[in-house]
Amino acid sequence: MNAETIQISDFTVSVERGDTKYMYLRVLPPDGNVLIKAPEQVSLDDMRRFAISKLSWLKRERAKYQTQPRLPERRYETGDCVRIWGDVCRLRIVHSWKCNDVRRDGDWIELQTRPNSTPKQREKILNEWYRKQLRKALDALIPLCEKIVGVSADFYGIKKMATRWGSCQIEKRRIWLNLHLAQNSRASLQYVLIHELVHLLEPTHNERFSMLMTRYCPNWRSLKDHLNGQALEPFERKHL
Ligand SMILES: [Zn+2]
């Protein structure tokens, strides 16, 4: 069966029904494809009208994806650049039928894997290592940052996020940190932690928020600019 689609201007919008009370549109990474989600009973005509009413928004959202340069498919091969804690290292693939392993050796990141591993599997091994690195750093940083800000969260999680370095669910007192933070400096990680903890005192990015940030992390503006200049990707686009 063909999936339902509607055509709006030059957008092909995929339709997904059910499991929602309201109709909404999403522009999906990485290509800016558009999805409309709607309750079962909504007609395609109603969806079309809804999408047309959001056309200028759709165009703006899609433009964001189109201006982002696409990264080539990453291979995770010897010689590739990998970042850890702000240092640019080179990857060395070591083949072994024994366990998967990653270790840092000066400017090299040695990734041990089976000879027939795929780039996806090597990426997964590396990401597990990043997760361990980040968790270890957080064990030391969380008590420090909680002391600085004077508040604490109930939960700290790590996940890959495509568009943000951290997030805070204020009511649940949950803080999520982007896995890719392990590629940037420890000072950047501290800045993101403090930023999310400050949200427990001030939910919005208003003047009070900036004032609190300056109090708890005086150089936050330069750390923020630096982080925002970093791609949310583990690899540099070019080799060393
Ligand atoms: Zn924020």
DSSP string, the chain: -PPPEEEETTEEEEEEESS-SS-EEEEETTTTEEEEEE-TT--HHHHHHHHHHTHHHHHHHHHHHHHSPPPPPP---TT-EEEETTEEEEEEEEE-SS--EEEEETTEEEEEE-TT--HHHHHHHHHHHHHHHHHHHHHHHHHHHHHHHT---SEEEEE--SS-SEEEETTTTEEEEEGGGGGS-HHHHHHHHHHHHHTTT-SS-SHHHHHHHHHH-TTHHHHHHHHHTS-SSSS-SS--
107 and 11 within one domain:
no
Cα of 183 vs centre of ligand 1, distance in Å, is 20
- What mean pLDDT is predicted for residues 155-169? 90
pLDDT in tens, 182-198: 999 999 999 999 999 99
Domain of residue 198 covers 81-228
Cα of 222 vs centre of ligand 1, distance in Å, is 16
Cα of 110 vs centre of ligand 1, distance in Å, is 35
Q: Is 28 contained in some domain?
A: yes
Q: What is the pLDDT of residue 231?
A: 57
pLDDT at 11 over 90: no
Cα of 232 vs centre of ligand 1, distance in Å, is 17
pLDDT in tens, 81-130: 999 999 999 999 999 998 899 999 999 999 999 999 999 999 999 999 99
17 and 114 within one domain:
no
Q: Is 147 contained in some domain?
A: yes
Cα of 81 vs centre of ligand 1, distance in Å, is 30
Cα of 209 vs centre of ligand 1, distance in Å, is 9
Answer with the residue of higher pLDDT: 235 or 78: 78
Cα of 122 vs centre of ligand 1, distance in Å, is 32
Cα of 125 vs centre of ligand 1, distance in Å, is 30
pLDDT at 67 over 90: no
Last residue of a domain, one of 45, 67, 89: 67
Share of the chain above pLDDT 70, in %: 91
pLDDT in tens, 168-186: 999 999 999 999 999 999 9
Q: Is the pTM of this model over 0.75?
A: no
- What mean pLDDT is predicted for residues 8-12? 84
pLDDT at 21 over 90: no
Cα of 156 vs centre of ligand 1, distance in Å, is 15
Q: Is 73 contained in some domain?
A: no
What's the domain count of the chain? 2
Q: What is the pLDDT of residue 226?
A: 85
pLDDT at 235 over 50: no
Cα of 228 vs centre of ligand 1, distance in Å, is 13
117 and 42 within one domain:
no
